[in-house]
Amino acid sequence: NGWGKFSPYDSDNKIAKFMIKETGATYFKNNMILEGGSIHVDGEGTLITTEQCLLNKNRNPNLSKENIEKNLKEFLGVQKIIWLKHGTDEGTDGHVDNVACFVNIGKVMALTCLDKSDPYYERLNENLEILKTSLDSKGRRLEVIELEMSYKRFIPDDDEPSSYINFYIANNGIVIPSFMDEKADYNAKTLIQSVFPNRKIIAINGIDILMGGGNVHCITQQQPQSIKS
């Protein structure tokens, strides 16, 4: 519903049926509002999301947390949902894709802030503590890989952090944002390359996307390979 009716979304609503037709996918009807950037899954039954987004009254005001969990488990096939408290304020009411993502089974990369004076220090560290004490659907404690944010801000009068977590995973590569922050950009690319040693890491200028809200992952939607014969 346009990130809580933030903007018109008539054209957006046409995409799902088009993709279903083109890929021969099975269609399941559900009226719950759920955006691609508001969840991350590990493929083995674990899902990460944020309370800030999914429990926001501008999304599903008639659904309780329990109703939302039931929907996610039924339609996505997950058994365990890890609720982080916060996303960031990039216009989506806190999508998880700006603060954490699965990078492998049992491994989560999380955005961190080391500057205690930064507006996001407490929020990101609260998320970090939740991840470090969480178990996945198989009962395994998560391995948390910390990726420090860039402290450069580009939106006037806005504390929105420059997040490297907001990247796109392709079959053979990773597209990550950069922020004209030489040291932080280098550290982020190096860390992500170490996590994905068999993929090519491509950094693009993420400043313009950030100023519009979000980043690389926000403007993409990975499409699973079709099983259409």
As a CATH number, domain 2-161 is 3.75.10.10
Residue 139: pLDDT band by 50, 70, 90 thresholds? very high
Q: Are strands 168-169 and 173-178 parallel, antiparallel or unpaired?
A: antiparallel
Sketch the domain layout of the chain as residue ranges: 2-161
Length of the chain equals 229
pLDDT digits (tens, 9 = 90+) for 180-216: 999 999 999 999 999 999 999 999 999 999 988 889 9
Marked catalytic residue, from 53, 101, 113, 218: 218
The two tokens of residue 188 are 């982020």
Structure-token pair, residue 178: 């950069």
**How far, rounded to the nearest angstrom, does the alpha carbon of residue 163 sit from its chain's CA centroid?**
11
Q: What is the predicted pLDDT for the residue at 78?
A: 97
Query: For the whole model, what pTM was predicted?
Result: 0.90
Q: How many CB atoms lie within 10 A of CB 221?
A: 12
Split at pLDDT 50, 70, 90, the class of 1 is low
What's the pLDDT band for 125 if we cut at 50, 70, 90?
very high
* pLDDT for res 2: 63
Catalytic: 101? Answer: no
| Tokens linked to 194 | 């170490």
Give the pLDDT mean for 83-112: 93
SS3 145: strand
In angstroms, rounded to a whole number, what is the distance separating the alpha carbons of residues 147 and 165? Answer: 7
